[in-house]
């Protein structure tokens, strides 16, 4: 007698072993058993592969004693085909939509031999998208650069980032570079990013740019240390103070004497001709300050001015203000007028931030190092407090105008076109404290350069 049948669930992978049964009876009869599973053949697609074009493939299900088969075809998990049958079958299927696909084919024969095939593949016709941020092709930069590479691709396979470097006309050489590394060395660069996805789509993007670094000392155009008088110790233009400003005589400066700007009629801000002493296209102003107050002016619209550049020209006015407002905190203002329109770019350090409050709100009268930098070509404005970035704004590019002899740089107060030669005598905007070691550069210094100068002057 033949043995008992082995129960097999329909289209279940549990019965994958060969069904071999040997039957012996007294007459020596041998029963032949079918131990060969059905054949499932899939042509023209490979498991795990992505294709960059429309793809068609064939599925063949066959067996001399086929009992039943099941086939399912899914696109991004959504069933496109689901079918069962009990006869040999050929299928012609196609994939044209960009998606992930899954093919499942199962079959068993009358002897319960089981076959199971599963193929995962995808169609991706879209090349990778490459963005290189913070640097433009053919761009020229004067500060350190930190390129950011962003790749938009669902199925990335290989990414190759290559940075070539050339200095002083030499041949390009490959240098080590990882995404978001900071580039600091002067020279010409060629940054190439090549990305290939799993479907073989390839995108390459190349930017060529130049970095012209500089020694901050070479960019210095104005310096006043206020040890002997209020005249500048170094100036590319006129070094003379054009006001009645006074310096201390009892060592109240950061290291020696300082400019004294007090709320009385005998005290004046310092005033200088800005011609060649400042460049509104880009620059950095830094100074040491020691306030004799622990709050800014009571009126929100009136501030205590550290520095002000005023240009006496109603049609082409450019000004830079470094000021403290009671309702805004430490503030930088870049302002110019063009064709009758007044443009103002303002950066405020958060009034409640520790960086903003520590230098004047505790009332301790400490010396604090303040810096303001800007670049009209990038629209970047930055404020530093004690060598650390405290605020930054991307204002967008703005138009620059030459600063001429009709302008005044005021240290310790807001500029006035009616007060040329004397310094403003209005206590409502006067700094009311001590200012020392003011420096002006014709470049926007980097974070590292500002920090280095601060540390050096702190150690002096």
Predicted confidence at residue 223, as pLDDT, reads 97
Q: Which helix (H) or strand (E) holds 357?
A: helix 354-357
Q: Is the pLDDT of residue 9 over 50?
A: no
Closest-CA residue to 157 (of 124, 118, 180, 181) = 124
Predicted confidence at residue 298, as pLDDT, reads 53
Higher pLDDT, 121 or 418: 121
210 and 202 Cβ atoms separated by less than 8 Å: no
Q: Is the pLDDT of residue 121 over 60?
A: yes
**Class assignment of domain 129-211?**
mainly beta
Higher pLDDT, 227 or 2: 227
What mean pLDDT, rounded, does the chain reach? 83
Most distant pair of Cα atoms in the chain: their distance: 135
Where are the domains positioned within the chain? 1-125, 129-211, 216-459
Q: Is the pLDDT of residue 134 over 80?
A: yes
| Lowest mean pLDDT across 144-158, 290-304, 400-414 | 290-304
Two tokens, residue 378: 């990038």
Residue with tokens 């003011």: 438
User: What is the Cα 24 distance to its own chain's centre?
Assistant: 80
- Greatest mean pLDDT range, 23-32, 196-205, 317-326: 196-205
389 and 370 Cβ atoms separated by less than 8 Å: no
* Mean per-residue pLDDT, 139-156: 90
Q: How far is CA 455 from CA 222, 387, 448, 449, in A?
A: 20, 8, 10, 10
Whether 1-125 and 216-459 share one fold: the answer is no
pLDDT digits 0-9 by tens, 346-397: 887 776 776 666 676 655 578 989 999 988 888 889 999 899 998 898 887 7
Higher pLDDT, 86 or 394: 86
Rounded to 5 degrees, φ, ψ at 450 are -60, -45
1-125 placed in CATH 3.10.580.10: no
Q: Is the pLDDT of residue 240 over 70?
A: yes
Count CB-CB contacts under 10 A for residue 266. Answer: 9
pLDDT digits 0-9 by tens, 206-220: 999 998 877 889 999
19 and 111 Cβ atoms separated by less than 8 Å: yes
Q: CA-to-CA distance for 153 and 146, rounded, in angstroms? A: 22
First CA to last CA distance, the chain: 107
Q: CA-to-CA distance for 112 and 66, rounded, in angstroms? A: 9
pLDDT digits 0-9 by tens, 288-313: 999 887 655 555 556 788 898 866 55
Predicted confidence at residue 376, as pLDDT, reads 84
Confidence band, pLDDT 50/70/90 cuts, at residue 275: confident
Fold of 216-459: Jelly Rolls (2.60.120)
Higher pLDDT, 93 or 16: 93
* Mean per-residue pLDDT, 77-86: 95
């Amino acid at each position: 007698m033949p043995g008992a049948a082995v129960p097999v669930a329909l289209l279940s992978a549990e019965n994958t072993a060969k069904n071999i049964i040997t039957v012996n009876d007294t007459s020596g009869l041998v029963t032949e058993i079918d131990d060969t599973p059905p054949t499932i053949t899939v042509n023209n697609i490979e498991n795990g592969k992505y294709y960059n074009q429309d793809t068609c493939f064939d599925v063949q299900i066959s067996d001399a004693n086929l009992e039943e088969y099941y086939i399912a075809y899914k696109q991004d998990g959504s069933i496109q085909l689901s079918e069962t049958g009990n006869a040999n079958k050929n299928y012609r299927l196609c994939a044209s939509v960009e998606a992930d696909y899954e093919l499942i084919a199962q079959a068993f024969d009358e002897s319960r031999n089981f076959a199971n095939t599963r193929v995962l593949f995808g169609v991706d016709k879209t090349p990778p998208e490459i963005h290189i941020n913070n640097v433009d092709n053919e761009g020229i930069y004067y500060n350190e650069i930190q390129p950011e590479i962003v790749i938009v691709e669902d199925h990335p396979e290989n990414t190759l980032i290559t940075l070539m470097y050339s200095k002083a006309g030499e041949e390009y050489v490959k240098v080590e570079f990882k995404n978001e590394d900071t580039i600091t060395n002067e020279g010409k660069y060629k940054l190439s990013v090549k990305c290939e996805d799993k479907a073989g789509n390839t995108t390459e993007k190349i930017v060529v740019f130049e970095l012209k670094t500089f020694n901050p000392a070479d960019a210095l155009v104005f310096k006043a240390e206020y040890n002997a008088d209020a005249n500048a110790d170094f100036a590319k233009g006129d070094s003379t103070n054009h006001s009645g400003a006074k310096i201390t005589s009892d060592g109240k400066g950061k290291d020696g004497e300082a400019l004294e700007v007090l709320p009385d009629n005998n005290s004046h801000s310092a005033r200088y001709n800005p011609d060649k002493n400042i460049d509104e296209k880009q620059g950095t102003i830094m100074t040491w300050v020691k306030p004799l107050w622990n709050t800014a002016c009571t009126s929100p619209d009136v501030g205590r001015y550290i520095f002000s550049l005023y240009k006496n020209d109603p049609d082409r006015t450019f000004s830079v203000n470094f000021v403290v407002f009671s309702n805004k905190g430490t503030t930088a203002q870049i302002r110019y007028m063009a064709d009758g329109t007044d443009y103002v770019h303002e950066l405020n350090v958060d009034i409640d931030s520790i960086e903003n409050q520590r230098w004047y709100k505790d009332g301790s009268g400490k010396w604090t190092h303040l810096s303001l930098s800007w670049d009209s070509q990038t629209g970047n404005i930055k404020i530093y407090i004690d060598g650390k970035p405290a605020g930054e704004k991307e204002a967008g590019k703005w138009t620059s105008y030459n600063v001429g002899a009709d302008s005044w740089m005021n240290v310790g107060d807001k500029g006035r076109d009616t007060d040329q030669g004397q310094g403003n005598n209005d206590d409502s905007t006067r700094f009311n404290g001590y200012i020392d070691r003011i420096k002006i550069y014709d470049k926007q210094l980097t974070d590292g350069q500002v920090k280095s100068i601060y540390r050096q002057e702190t150690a002096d």
